[in-house]
């Protein structure tokens, strides 16, 4: 978990490894609410369209989804209900790997981007190109905050350990 404070803005990015189990989801949501951040980037939620209503009701704030399956992918941006600013722009890419939202926060036009990169290294370069174009064309690049699961290693040494 990473927590960043920037101009009175607190952000948490967390790989939750599944929120479909109600007890796990309540536990994570309770933990996040106690952190009192403004924005939360969650990866590997394993969310489906049918989960959206229940999750919104339990979170009681804004949620922007990118769906996966019941056993993989999925991520979202949660906004603390204390944040009253309205989102002015939303973009979710066709492959469900990037969520970008723009809003004015603390009198600054700001962008928040959550990224769930591909596992397949042969497709990562084109993914990064698509991300670059989206961020340059649609985000407030000088006030951009991101959270991500890049799903890549820089060398074989970086990928040792864990599950194969």
Q: What is the pLDDT of residue 74?
A: 86
Closest to 138 in 3D by CA, of 107, 105, 101: 101
**Highest CATH level, class, for 2-153:** alpha beta
Closest to 80 in 3D by CA, of 27, 11, 15: 11
Residue 58 pLDDT greater than 70, yes or no: yes
Residue 6 pLDDT greater than 50, yes or no: no
Would you state the structure tokens that stand for residue 63, as one six-digit string?
């949620």
Percent of the chain with pLDDT over 90: 60
Percent of the chain with pLDDT over 70: 88
Strands (DSSP E) found in 9-74: 10-15, 39-43, 62-66
CA 101/CA 91 separation, integer angstroms: 7
Would you state the structure tokens that stand for residue 125, as one six-digit string?
């370069």
Sequence spans of domains, the chain: 2-153
More confident residue, 69 or 140: 140
Quick check: 89 and 102 in contact, CB under 8 A?
A: yes
* pLDDT averaged over every residue in the chain: 87
Pairing of strands 75-79, 39-43: antiparallel
């Amino acid at each position: 978990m990473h927590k960043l404070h920037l101009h009175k803005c607190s952000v948490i990015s967390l790989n939750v490894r599944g929120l479909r189990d109600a007890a796990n989801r309540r536990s994570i949501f309770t933990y996040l609410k106690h952190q009192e951040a403004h924005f939360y980037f969650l990866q590997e939620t394993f969310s489906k369209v049918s989960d959206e209503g229940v999750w919104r009701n339990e979170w009681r704030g804004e949620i922007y989804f990118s769906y996966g399956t019941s056993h993989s992918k999925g991520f979202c941006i949660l906004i603390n209900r204390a944040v009253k600013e309205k989102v002015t722009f939303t973009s979710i890419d066709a492959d469900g790997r990037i969520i970008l939202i723009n809003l004015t926060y603390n009198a600054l036009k700001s962008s928040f981007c959550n990224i769930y990169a591909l596992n397949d290294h042969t497709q990562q370069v084109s993914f990064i190109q698509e991300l670059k174009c989206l961020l340059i064309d649609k985000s407030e690049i000088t006030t951009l905050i991101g959270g991500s699961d890049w799903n890549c290693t820089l060398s074989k040494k970086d990928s040792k350990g864990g599950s194969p």
